[in-house]
Structure 1
Amino acid sequence: MTGRHAPAVLPSSLRGRLGLIAALAALVVVVLGVLYADDHKAGMVDGRIRAAVDGVGPPWRYVALAMDFLGEPAGSATLVVAAVAGCLLLRRPRAAVFVVAGAGMSVGTATLIKPLVGRTIHGDNLSYPSGHTAFFTALSLVVALLATGRLGLGRAAGTLVVLAAALVAGAAMGWAQVVLGAHYPTDVLGGWCTALAVTSATAWLVDRVADRLADRMADAGRRQCC
């Protein structure tokens, strides 16, 4: 017998599509990692994109610096705490766990990949994939998934909202990283795909673990009553 479960952080209507997208994103991360392993310079695509955005001055440079701050420890911690507080105010503890796990797993995965690929920028700074882009995309995906579930959006609308949030967040943070010279454009793409691959898997894992814990607690309560 199954106990009463809290609302899932990964809507069942989106599992199939997001699972496929996550698998494709993971493939992109691997392919780019192989292509740019131990590389220390911009590729052809990187060079063209960087040339197009090079020389950005005020006020756009200030916007880029503000975006970059949101991916730094102080800025990212502030965003996560605010999101967790919002979930707790709405009495959604599972969602609060997902906020921390989704962002943390994405950044952690990007951090683990960097030394494996060994791509550098400005000397010995490991650059692939972009952790800033992975974090901001993951957090946006988490919020979009929670909003989709709370609003009860269907498969088509929910998928559109989630992918739009990921695209906007990834493009904004990725642009800032390229403009500031912190990452190559392909690093940004790798970070974006890392978030797409990891966040959906984390959502599934959070739901699975939380449901099992709820079932065990319900079983323990019934045995105690009897």
Structure 2
Amino acid sequence: MNQQAGVPAHRPDRTVIAAVSIMVAGIGGFLALVMVAAANPPYAFDTRLLLALRKAGHPDMPVGPHWLQLAMLDISSLASTTVLFLMMMALFAYLLAARRPRAALFVLLTLGGGQLLLSLLKLAVDRPRPEIVSHLVEVLTLSFPSGHAMGAALTYGTLAALACRFAPGRASRICLWAVAVLATLLVGISRVYLGVHWPSDVLAGWCAGAAWAAACWLALGRRLSA
């Protein structure tokens, strides 16, 4: 055995440690937020933040200029079911064409499985949409967790993780993750601004999306190059 003195036989993989930490923190945060969602009446911070984004005494009028409302609608659409489905299928098809079947399977299970998990979580918690402010966009599903927030965390996080495998250096990887995190944050904020989610719905969506993405990477992502 040619092991130098003072050098450990095995160094823990930092990415594995990070993924496990994200998964544990995400699950813990989500479970804590389930208790918030079950509260009746809603917690004060949920109500306070929703009303803070509307003009005083006018719950049907969002703060800011009209272009801000249009911008929030556009940002929200970045994580709509249609957009995320098209992104998933385009990435899946590309990876198959590039002869990367394991990566294609990883994308399909992570993103497709995440949507199935989202539906189950919504049914399990069964939280209605907020009614203290008007909805600036039509919604038909239950409120908790936010599907847009969870879908953004899953999709943009997965895209960043795959793109980082081909990034030329640390700076480019940081840039990729910064863009993914920024897009995820903006999507969640837009859902609260539009009045269709309690803030805790969005926080829960981020937690669930990050935890599921980390779990899928631990199960499948590390073996993509094997």
TM bin, normalised by shorter chain, reads 0.7 to 0.9
Pick from 75, 79, 90 the counterpart of residue 67 of structure 1.
75
Establish whether residue 179 from structure 1 lines up as the match of residue 193 from structure 2: yes
Aligned to 1:138: 154
- Aligned AA (2:100): R
Aligned to 1:76: 84
Q: Is the 8 A contact 1:41 1:121 kept in 2?
A: no
Q: CA deviation at 1:113?
A: 1.5
Q: Is the 8 A contact 1:105 1:199 kept in 2?
A: no
Q: 1:22 to 1:162 in 2, by over 3 A?
A: farther
Q: What TM-score do the two structures reach when normalised by structure 1? A: 0.74
Deviations along 1:88-110, one digit per CA (max 9) or x if unpaired, are: 45433322222222222222222
Aligned to 1:14: 15
Residues 92-171 of structure 1 aligned to structure 2 (within 5 Å): 92-122=100-130, 126-151=142-167, 160=174, 164-171=178-185
How far apart, CA to CA, are the structure 2 residues paired with 1:120 and 1:143? 31
How far apart, CA to CA, are the structure 1 residues paired with 2:92 and 2:169? 22
Q: 1:13 to 1:90 in 2, by over 3 A?
A: farther
Aligned to 1:188: 202
Q: CA deviation at 1:147?
A: 1.5
Q: CA deviation at 1:23?
A: 0.6
- Aligned AA (2:146): S
3-state DSSP of counterpart to 1:150: coil
Q: Is the 8 A contact 1:148 1:161 kept in 2?
A: no
**CA RMSD in angstroms, aligned pairs only:** 2.9
How far apart, CA to CA, are the structure 1 residues paired with 2:28 and 2:169? 28
Q: 1:187 to 1:27 in 2, by over 3 A?
A: same
Identity over the aligned pairs, expressed in percent?
Answer: 27
Q: What TM-score do the two structures reach when normalised by structure 2? A: 0.74
Q: Is the 8 A contact 1:98 1:142 kept in 2?
A: no
How far apart, CA to CA, are the structure 1 residues paired with 2:99 and 2:53? 43
How far apart, CA to CA, are the structure 2 residues paired with 1:167 and 1:210? 23
3-state DSSP of counterpart to 2:113: helix
Deviations along 1:59-107, one digit per CA (max 9) or x if unpaired, are: 2222222233343332222222232244345433322222222222222
Deviations along 1:110-139, one digit per CA (max 9) or x if unpaired, are: 221222223211579521111111111111
Q: CA deviation at 1:207?
A: 4.4
How far apart, CA to CA, are the structure 2 residues paired with 1:97 and 1:199? 14
Gaps of 5+ in 1: 1-11, 215-226
Q: CA deviation at 1:183?
A: 0.7
3-state DSSP of counterpart to 1:59: helix
Q: CA deviation at 1:13?
A: 4.5
Gaps of 5+ in 2: 1-12, 55-61, 132-139
Establish whether residue 28 from structure 1 lines up as the match of residue 29 from structure 2: yes
